Structures are given as structure tokens and as C-alpha cells.
């Protein structure tokens, strides 16, 4: 329950920040173009807070935190007195109206740059993209990739961490092949080509490199116990720190993953654990504990294995100075914009399935998870969503900013506005498409939660 509340709170904060900046972009440029702004609202519905400024603009926060709007004086919907006609939106030139509309998405891009700039100023704890294993029968397994090795470039694009590797593979989706430049333990570089002609993203929102079969390096986990909880099934069976599990009820165990699975599947059962202690082999009878998890009994023992420390040479901090951080933030924002546009194109062409769309539930989960990791990770997530919001709003669909820009472009060419009847038809079509996509995204969220 606490996780749900935390995710919901992070989602509201994220959406509030994004909407505020988006609408402020429209607001700021409208004011600079001499348009009278009637209302600046973050959220819809009944106002929870409202204040009218001296210039007559009403600032408010709505009860439904799922968007926002800037209401401008407009002769097409308002009764505009003659002396205020020059202050209305529709009285402005096509370039001025286009600037006002485009300012919302542009504000989201600027927000992403600033947020990433701050993130790089603070410093991001990262790990190098070291391949620890390659899954059998995967696309990557066909390329004979050495383990361990570091991914230093994907299709010639330098990669410093796993996030950049993930984005680079996403960008390559739909190609016939992708080239990995790897560096082995002897610092030798070599290119490896992956055949990705038949590769499609999974519906589980796993990272792209995992889809391809690449497993990041993980600390070695031994079967030697580093912790035994008091009054646990393990403690009652006289298991001790330093014991090494050798067999589970007659089954030899080779790693902790296998042992953990055996424990979880033996809820309430009495088994014999063979452990090595001070050079001696002991057979200890243990009654595995039982816990209810999602209407299923899960076994537990009350122990933790010994985990080797993560190699310090694999860790690094992405931190830059005032100017370099701004340059890096701008570069990363541009990379995200390009990737977002490419992914939209692949969605339209069918390279990416609509089953990969995510809705508000997935965004809330992402916001909550990133916020729980710390400020810098939340900032990275905020920048990603801000870029996506800006790009989506530029899609040439009526009801979106991109659709309005298309109507203005037609007006600029024809010399007169598109008729209201034609606009109404396209608004209905655009609204239906947006509603359908949102319904699919929410359905995908529900399906992922039920799995």
C-alpha cells in the first residue's frame, strides 16, 4: 500500500512539473505576442486554489491533476469588445500564433536540458556496461561474444553506461543488424555484428539489451551464508554464518539461484540440508517456513548468501562542470528527442507493436521507483518523460499542438483559415485516435500488473 501511495505522489509531482512548464511555454510567448491570457490552470475540474492577478489573469490549480491549460482571449469563442480585439489570439499573425502553440513542446525540451544539466552537476553514480553473461539461444549468443567484456560503442555511437546502451539498441530496432564494439579484459577492441532482422521488443518492458540476451555483470554470489535471522527456520535448525550449503534434500546445489528456487518451492516441508562447516559435512533437518504471497505459499529459510563486492573499476560518476554539464544535458536531450521521433515512426510502421505502449500506471511506477533511488535518478526520469511529452504534442494530430500547427501551415499557404467545419471533423478523428491509443496503453498497464 505504501508503495502505491509513493508512486501516486511521485506521479502527481512529475505530471505537475511537466504540465506547468508546458503551459508556461504557451503562456509566456502569448504574453510576449500581446495576447490577453484569461486563465492559467494546472489540472482540470473544480479549482482547489485560485488567484486573480492585477492584469486580470486567473491562476489556478484544478482538482484533477491530469493536465492543464492556458485560456486566451479568442474572438472565435469569446465576445471580444472592439477595444480589446488586438489582444485576442485569433487577431495575431500566423507566425505569432504558431510560436505560441510551439512554445509548449519547446518548454518541455528546455526543461529536459535544465533538469539533465542539474543532474550532471550533482553527479550520477553509474556502472560501465560490462557484459557478465550471454543467455543461451539468444540473438547475442550467435555472435560468440566474450565474457566479461565492455560495450564501448553501438553502431559507432559511444556508450558510457547501460542506459546509453539501452537507448542505442532501441534506436537500431528495425535494422537488419547492429554492430557492437567491445573491449575485453586485455583492453583489445573488436567489433561483433548481431543479426536483429527478426528482433521485436518484448511486451514486458525489459531493457533492450536483455531482450537480445546480454546480461550485465553481477557480483558473484556464493553458497556460504553471511547472515542467519534470529528465530528463523534456519536458526532453529542450527544453521550458522559461514556454513556452505552443499545439498538440498539430496539434490546437489551449484549456485544461489538454484538454492533459492528450491527453498521457495518447499514451503512447510521438512528437508535435509547438507552443509560444510569447518571442513566437516553436516546433515541438518530443516522445516522450511511458509509465507503467503499473492495467494500462494512461498517457502523461506531466513538466510542470506555471501555476495562479493562490486569491482570498483566498474563504477564511475558522471559529473561535469557548469558549462560541460549544460553541453552534456543538451546533447542527451537531443538524443532523446531523436529516439522518441524514431520510436513514433516505428510504431506507425509496425516495427514496434502497440503492446509496447505504456500508460499512466507505468509512468507512476517509473516515477515512484526513480524517486526512491534518489534525486538524480528522478531528474533523469523527469527529463525522459518531458521529452516524450514534447515530441508527442508535436505529432500532427488535431487536438494536439502539432495538429494546430498543421492548420496554421495550411492557413499560411492558402491565405485564409481552414473552415471550422473541416477542423471539427479532424478534431473528432484526432480525439478518437488519442482515446484509442490511451485505452490500449491503459490496457497494457493492466495486463502487465496482472502477470
Q: What is the pLDDT of residue 363?
A: 58
Give Cα 57 distance to the centre of its chain. 36
β 124-127/58-72 pair status? unpaired
Helix (H) or strand (E) holding 290, with range, is strand 289-292
Confidence at 286, pLDDT banded by 50, 70, 90: very high
Question: Given a cut of 80, is residue 57 above it in pLDDT?
Answer: yes
Q: What is the pLDDT of residue 166?
A: 87
Mean pLDDT for 103-131 is: 93
Question: Given a cut of 60, is residue 331 above it in pLDDT?
Answer: yes
Question: Given a cut of 80, is residue 449 above it in pLDDT?
Answer: no
Helix (H) or strand (E) holding 66, with range, is strand 58-72
Confidence at 391, pLDDT banded by 50, 70, 90: very high
Asked whether the beta carbons of 304 and 224 are under 8 A apart, the reply is no
Helix (H) or strand (E) holding 38, with range, is strand 37-52
Is 0.85 surpassed by the pTM of this model?
no
CATH of 221-307, one of 3.30.70.141, 3.40.710.10, 2.30.42.10, 3.20.20.70: 2.30.42.10
169 class by beta-carbon count within 10 Å (0-12 exposed, 13-18 middle, 19+ buried): buried
Q: What is the pLDDT of residue 362?
A: 57
Mean pLDDT for 363-384 is: 72
Task: Quickly count: other Cβ atoms within 10 Å of residue 64's Cβ.
Answer: 11
Question: Given a cut of 90, is residue 448 above it in pLDDT?
Answer: no
Q: Which has the higher per-residue pLDDT, 148 or 5?
A: 148
Distances, alpha carbon 289 to alpha carbons 127, 232, 241, 286, 300, in Å: 36, 8, 19, 9, 5
* Segments of 91-243 assigned E as strands: 124-127, 130-134, 149-154, 157-158, 177-183, 189-195, 214-216, 221-228
Asked whether the beta carbons of 151 and 157 are under 8 A apart, the reply is no
197 class by beta-carbon count within 10 Å (0-12 exposed, 13-18 middle, 19+ buried): exposed
What phi and psi, each to the nearest 5 degrees, are found at residue 268?
75, 0
Tell me how far apart the alpha carbons of residues 299 and 226 are, in angstroms, rounded to a whole number.
19
Q: What's the pLDDT tens digit per position in 172-181?
A: 888 899 999 9
Q: What's the pLDDT tens digit per position in 145-179?
A: 888 899 999 999 999 988 889 888 888 888 899 99
Distances, alpha carbon 395 to alpha carbons 308, 388, 436, in Å: 49, 11, 15
Instruction: State the chain's mean pLDDT as an integer.
Output: 86
Question: Given a cut of 80, is residue 9 above it in pLDDT?
Answer: no
- The catalytic site residues sit at 23
Tell me how far apart the alpha carbons of residues 65 and 15 are, in angstroms, rounded to a whole number.
7
Q: What is the pLDDT of residue 170?
A: 86
Q: What's the pLDDT tens digit per position in 192-246?
A: 999 988 888 776 668 888 888 899 998 888 999 999 999 899 999 999 999 999 9
Tell me how far apart the alpha carbons of residues 314 and 310 are, in angstroms, rounded to a whole number.
8
Q: What is the pLDDT of residue 405?
A: 93
Amino acid at each position: 500500500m505504501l508503495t502505491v501511495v509513493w508512486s501516486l505522489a511521485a506521479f502527481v509531482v512529475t505530471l505537475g512539473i511537466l504540465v506547468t512548464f508546458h503551459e508556461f511555454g504557451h503562456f509566456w510567448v502569448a504574453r510576449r505576442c500581446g495576447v490577453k491570457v484569461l486563465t492559467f490552470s494546472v489540472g482540470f475540474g473544480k479549482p482547489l486554489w485560485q488567484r486573480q492577478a492585477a492584469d486580470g489573469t486567473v491562476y489556478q490549480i484544478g482538482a484533477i491533476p491530469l493536465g492543464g491549460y492556458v485560456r486566451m482571449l479568442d474572438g472565435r469563442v469569446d465576445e471580444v469588445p472592439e477595444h480589446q480585439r488586438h489582444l485576442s489570439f485569433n487577431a495575431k499573425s500566423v507566425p505569432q500564433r504558431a510560436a505560441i502553440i510551439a512554445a509548449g513542446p519547446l518548454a518541455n525540451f528546455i526543461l529536459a536540458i535544465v533538469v539533465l544539466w542539474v543532474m550532471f552537476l550533482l553527479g550520477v553514480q553509474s556502472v560501465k556496461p560490462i557484459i557478465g553473461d550471454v543467455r543461451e539461444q539468444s540473438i547475442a549468443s550467435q555472435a560468440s561474444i566474450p565474457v566479461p567484456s565492455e560495450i564501448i560503442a553501438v553502431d559507432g555511437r559511444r556508450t558510457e553506461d547501460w542506459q546509453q546502451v539501452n537507448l542505442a539498441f532501441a534506436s537500431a530496432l528495425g535494422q537488419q543488424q547492429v554492430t557492437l564494439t567491445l573491449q575485453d579484459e586485455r583492453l583489445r577492441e573488436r567489433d561483433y555484428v548481431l543479426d536483429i532482422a527478426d528482433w521485436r521488443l518484448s511486451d514486458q518492458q525489459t531493457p533492450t539489451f536483455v531482450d537480445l540476451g546480454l546480461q550485465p555483470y553481477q557480483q558473484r554470489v556464493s553458497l556460504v551464508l553471511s547472515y542467519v535471522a534470529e528465530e528463523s527456520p534456519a536458526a532453529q535448525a542450527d544453521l550458522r554464518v559461514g556454513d556452505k550449503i552443499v545439498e538440498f534434500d539430496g539434490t546437489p546445489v551449484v549456485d544461489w539461484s538454484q538454492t533459492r528456487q528450491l527453498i521457495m518451492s518447499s514451503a512447510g516441508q521438512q528437508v535435509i540440508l547438507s552443509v560444510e562447516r569447518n571442513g566437516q559435512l553436516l546433515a541438518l533437518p530443516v522445516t522450511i517456513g511458509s509465507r503467503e504471497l499473492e495467494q500462494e505459499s512461498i517457502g523461506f529459510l531466513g538466510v542470506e548468501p555471501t555476495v562479493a563486492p562490486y569491482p570498483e573499476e566498474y563504477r564511475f560518476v558522471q559529473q561535469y562542470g557548469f558549462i560541460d554539464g549544460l553541453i552534456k544535458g543538451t546533447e542527451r536531450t537531443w538524443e532523446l528527442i531523436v529516439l522518441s521521433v524514431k520510436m513514433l515512426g516505428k510504431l506507425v510502421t509496425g516495427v514496434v507493436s502497440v503492446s509496447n505502449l505504456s500508460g499512466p500506471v507505468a509512468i507512476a511506477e517509473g516515477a515512484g521507483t526513480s524517486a526512491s533511488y534518489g534525486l538524480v535518478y528522478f531528474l533523469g526520469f523527469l527529463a525522459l518523460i518531458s521529452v516524450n511529452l514534447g515530441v508527442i504534442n508535436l505529432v500532427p494530430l488535431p487536438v494536439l499542438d502539432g495538429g494546430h500547427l498543421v492548420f496554421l501551415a495550411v492557413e499560411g499557404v492558402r491565405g485564409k483559415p481552414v473552415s471550422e467545419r473541416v477542423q471539427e471533423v479532424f478534431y473528432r478523428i484526432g480525439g478518437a485516435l488519442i482515446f484509442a491509443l490511451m485505452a490500449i496503453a491503459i490496457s497494457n498497464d493492466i495486463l502487465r500488473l496482472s502477470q
